[in-house]
Amino acid sequence: MDPASPPPPGQPAGYPAVLEIDRPEHVANWRPLVHWLLVIPHWIVLYVLGIVAELLSIAGWFIIVFTGKLPDGLANIIALYIRYSNRTLAYSYFMREEYPPFTFEDTPADPGSYPGVRVDFAPELEDRNRLTVGFRFILVIPQVIVLALLAIVVMFAMIGAFFAVLFTGRWPQGLWTFVLGFMRWSTRVNAYYMLLTDRYPPFSME
């Protein structure tokens, strides 16, 4: 995503982490029954990527605190992890029928290798705010609390979506908007917590 370009409609202006998922017109009725099983290989890969990304975030924390800069190599791998996480989640939520590719493009801009799911970043590499980075694990706590509460609601929303797709082959618009909003919010919080940006995430599901 070009930092100078406008964000997709409805998303916070200029936030350096953007998630878009195209809502399909129809989803095969059987998919809610099997996607949780088919996606297991991706969860295994994601677990390993998560460990790597967390270690790099810790390294990035020290580098930023002492130098005020985030190496682009670290930022790109963290972006890779967050993007892979969203692709895996979108498929496990049967929001897309296409199976996610086992690709590991470490670029801030989404390479477009998974149709219908796009996660773009504009990492902040120079002139980082050392103070907010130093206290990042404290500053993010309100966001984590709200997301944890929303996750409970998402669980019930997914139950409703499960039966809706199972019997009608369609995601209800309201449930889709809510789940996608939760994923967008989570994406921004992950980008903030994992030090891709110093801009505090808005308390918004847009």
Residues with Cβ within 8 Å of 200's Cβ and at least 6 positions away in sequence, in order, are: 132, 139, 192
pLDDT in tens, 105-138: 999 999 999 999 999 999 999 999 999 999 999 9
Give the C-alpha separation, 32 to 92, whole Å: 8
Stretch 53-58: mean pLDDT, rounded? 97
The answer to whether 27 and 84 have CB atoms below 8 angstroms apart is: no
Please say if the pLDDT value at position 40 is more than 50: yes
Q: Which among 71, 50, 77 has a CA at the least distance from the CA of 124?
A: 71
For the chain, the C-alpha Rg in angstroms (whole number) is: 17
Residue 7, CB-side half-sphere exposure with 13 Å CA sphere: 18
Give the C-alpha separation, 103 to 124, whole Å: 24
Ramachandran region, residue 112 (left: φ > 0; alpha: ψ -120 to 50; beta: rest) = left
> Range with the lowest mean pLDDT among 9-18, 69-78, 139-148, 168-177?
9-18
Give the C-alpha separation, 116 to 82, whole Å: 16
Q: Which among 105, 136, 110 has a CA at the least distance from the CA of 121?
A: 110
Residue ranges covered by each domain of the chain: 17-193
Give the C-alpha separation, 136 to 4, whole Å: 26
pLDDT in tens, 136-168: 999 999 999 999 999 999 999 999 999 999 999
Please say if the pLDDT value at position 98 is more than 70: yes
Per the prediction, the chain carries an average pLDDT of 94
The pLDDT value recorded for residue 3 is 40
Q: pTM of this prediction?
A: 0.92
What are the phi and psi torsion angles at 62 (to 5°)? -65, -40
